[in-house]
Amino acid sequence: MTFARVILWPFSLLYGLVTAVRNKCYDWGWLPSIRFDDVEVVCVGNITTGGTGKTPHVEYLIRTLSPHCRLAVLSRGYKRKTKGFVLATTASTAQDVGDEPCQIKRKYQDIPVAVDTDRRRGIRQLKTLYPSLQIILLDDAFQHRRVTPSFSFLLADYRRPLYRDGMLPGGRLREWTCFARRADVLIITKSPENISTEERENLRRKYASIFSGEILFSIIRYETPAPVFQNVPPLDETRLARAHVLLLTGIAHPQPLEDHVHRLSACMQAVTFGDHHRYTPSDIDAIMKKWEQWADMDEKYVLTTEKDAMRLQMTDIPDSLQKALFYIPVKVEFLEGQAPEKRINRKYRESL
């Protein structure tokens, strides 16, 4: 236990007690929770503060489920400037619906994507607008106990195992690990591509004290960088291999991406902001100053995440920087034989 965690332990204990009492009130029926019987409500969430890869996993479920059933996505729309229920369109911005729903809608234009902090109201609105819906994916709703999901995926970062973590503010847990048992499936995200059978079994044994259900392992795949702005030609990775790169991130845990870009490029400098950071003119000025330090370089680029790209598109960025600004798409894959979409509902298993 670190010194900071020891100092913050009384506050972590208080926070844990408050969340435990709240959870027990739902478990015992003292606080009402609604289950929707006419649509499958599938929750994708975590019990830690960000960085487990919820959005790529939601996108994975969209790709695998949408050919077989009618589905929609409902998120709270974190850091948006709108209120209430909002149905996303391809013209929506991060200010309208939040960066993650904006990203999902632009990639999967035929899928209804909505935001509402009141998940009950959001589900009802989606059912009214799309009566034939069969599945609603709830993005980041594990703590939203007012709705009882039909099925729940809990995500945990491979590098930050739940059984080693502590409660906020001393740790990253938003509730005690014993409540992980609410989930149907635990997914260990950002696992090494070459993770051995022995290591997987070892992790399952370590997690057994807090989770007795099925445990799956997912891998992050970084794809070819794509331009943030229109009318910019794609980036050839052979050019990237000899380039100087400024990596711009406003996500919870950028280290895996930093490692990836470091391997791809000749030289990398990271500029990091907090998760869901909203870029200001002074931020862009600071980035431009770093960019101009490489004035004598023929090959230089600014790479960022897909979430950051949604926010950067709303910012006034000089043309010279726009032409050099690319984001790195991310996809999730599961180890061979592991297909989380087949766990959701028996009605869809045969067709998946």
User: Residues 99-119: pLDDT tens digits?
Assistant: 999 999 999 999 999 999 999
Residue with the two structure tokens 């960025």: 317
Under a CB-based contact definition with an 8 Å cutoff, are residues 114 and 88 in contact?
A: yes
Q: How confident is the model at residue 82 (pLDDT cuts 50, 70, 90)?
A: very high
| 126 Rama class: left (phi>0) / alpha (psi -120 to 50) / beta | alpha
Percent of the chain with pLDDT over 90: 70
Per-residue pLDDT tens for 118-176? 999 999 999 999 999 999 999 999 999 999 999 999 999 999 999 999 999 888 999 99
Res 349: pLDDT? 46
Based on its alpha-carbon atoms, the radius of gyration of the chain, rounded to whole angstroms, reads 21
Average pLDDT, the chain: 91
Residue 30: CB atoms within 10 A of its CB come to 10
**In this structure, what DSSP letter does residue 310 have?**
H
pLDDT in the model for residue 149: 96
| pLDDT of residue 71 exceeding 70 | yes
Amino acid 250 reads G
pLDDT score recorded for residue 346: 52
For the cut 70, the answer to whether the pLDDT of residue 3 exceeds it is no
Res 308 pLDDT > 70: yes
pLDDT band of 8, cuts 50, 70, 90:
confident
Beta strands in 46-134 (DSSP E): 71-75, 86-87, 113-115
Determine the pLDDT at residue 270.
92
**Which of 123 and 278 is assigned the larger pLDDT?**
123
Query: Taking 70 as the threshold, does the pLDDT of residue 347 lie above it?
Result: no
Segment 325-350 mean pLDDT: 81
pLDDT (average), residues 328-348? 83
Position 108 scores a pLDDT of 96
pLDDT of the residue at 352 = 46
**Per-residue pLDDT tens digits for 197-210:** 999 999 999 999 99
Tell me if residue 103 falls in helix, strand or coil.
Answer: helix
Q: Measured on CA atoms in the order 101, 107, 109, 110, is the torsion positive or negative?
A: negative
Pairing of strands 151-157, 113-115: unpaired
Q: What is the pTM of this model?
A: 0.92
Rounded CA-CA distance 261/275 in Å is 19
The whole-number average pLDDT for the span 59-84 is 94
Q: What b/e string do you get for 82-106 counting C-beta neighbours within 10 Å, with b at 16 or more?
A: eeebbbbeeebbbbbbbbbbbbbbb
Range with lowest mean pLDDT among 18-22, 155-159, 216-220, 250-254? 250-254
Tell me what the mean pLDDT of segment 32-60 comes to: 93
